[in-house]
Amino acid sequence: MPDSTSTTPTDSYVRKGFGLKAEVQDTLAADYTGHLVDLLRAREYALEVGDTTVRLAREFGFCYGVERAVDYAYQTRRKFPERRIFLAGEIIHNPHVNEKLREMGVVFLAASGKGFDYAPVRPEDVVILPAFGVTIQDFQVLRERGCVVVDTTCGSVLNVWKRVEAYARDGFTSLIHGKYYHEETRATASQVEKYGAGQYLVVRDMGEAELVMDYLEAQAGGTPPRAPLSRAAFLEKFAVAASDGFDPDVHLARIGVANQTTMLARESLAIGAAVGEAMARARGAAYRDANFRTFDTICSATQDRQDAVAELLREPLDLMVVVGGYNSSNTISLAALCAEQVPTYHIADPDEIDVDGNGVRYRRIDKHHHEDTMQPWLPTAGVLRVGITAGASTPNNKIGDAVARIFAIRGVDPAGIR
């Protein structure tokens, strides 16, 4: 198998599909397109019926990387109708899409450690790699298995890998803004292992980044804004979020910032800027310039969806509905943005909206992320303005179904909307 960033297909490694896009296009359209979404686009992203208005963010749903991953998965099934096909985890974080693949006979491999359990895979089988990518250890296992590998890793993720690999090559510790348990972040972090001394540390948010900044400032003899953790406490705090052998007394001297591509863009940028400023306070601007690097590696689709939500929120809205998997990081980021300004309901699927009972089951947008229900949910009379958006792994038919259910609760037959 070629290197993980290769784009040259061989008999056992495929990264550009099988040339079957036209053959699976009708199936994809039937599974994932939505009439009401097409209608919203045609009407400047707004549908108004009586007192009810639904506005759709201008960038939403499937991005190019997700479309490509799903397309390649369907092509793989068409190419190998008789072979066993496995998928390393979930193709994307959307329950509807993953269930469709299960119905097609794709077997989902279970997580194991920082990767997946490939024990069931035989040389004659096919393994699909998800849009998030997999670790370099996963690649090595699959190379040893000798099976066909269909790699759908998103190009934006590959760009981050190149940054992290360069950091490790040049002796910088990769400080990654992300979720240490997320498939993409695990795959990204593993890139440092291409170099024996490569190190990484994952921070979830600005609060965790501040712990890093306080520690490195204290280490340099400065006076950080907050009391720093002891070395033992620091290692305990980041035990599952750091590379093997990570030592804060050694590996915070040179830092390169990267991020999981689906995080909140403004927070990633703020973390990068703040860490650079902390290094300058600790050891001077010249030291910072020589020993600190940062790049904005948020993918353009994530940024576009966040920008579109910010634009939509300038409109007068009574509430926002955000559709996407509860484990979808980019969807969570969208919901967090919306919740800052208007009551927001993050639903995994339109089925969470109960038309007959005027209820909704949703995920709370707080640090606990508990699921909750509300009934009654929508007022059934009077003016109502609802905004809607969806994560990059949410198909159009699910967005349209959510719109239809909102109108139905309001007494409008969605089949009559033309």
Q: Give me the active site residues, please.
A: 184
CA distance 251 to 173: 6
Distance CA 208, CA 271 (A): 10
Contact predicate 65/73, CB 8 Å: no
Tokens of 187: 């795959």
* Look-up of token digits 């009574």: 318
Which residue in 348, 315, 15 sits closest to 153, CA to CA? Answer: 15
Rounded to whole angstroms, the Cα distance separating 255 from 236 reads 20
Cα 342 to the center of its chain, rounded Å: 23
d(CA 365, CA 343): 10
Strands 107-109 and 85-88: parallel
Phi, psi at residue 221, to the nearest 5°?
Answer: 90, 10
Contact 342, 320 (CB under 8 A): yes
What is the Cα–Cα distance from 266 to 410, expressed in whole angstroms?
Answer: 36
Burial class of residue 104 in the structure, from the number of CB atoms within 10 Å of its CB (0-12 exposed, 13-18 middle, 19+ buried): middle
**Separation between Cα atoms, residue 312 and residue 295, nearest integer Å:** 28
The torsion angles phi and psi of 86, rounded to 5 degrees, stand at: -110, 155
Residue with tokens 């939505």: 34
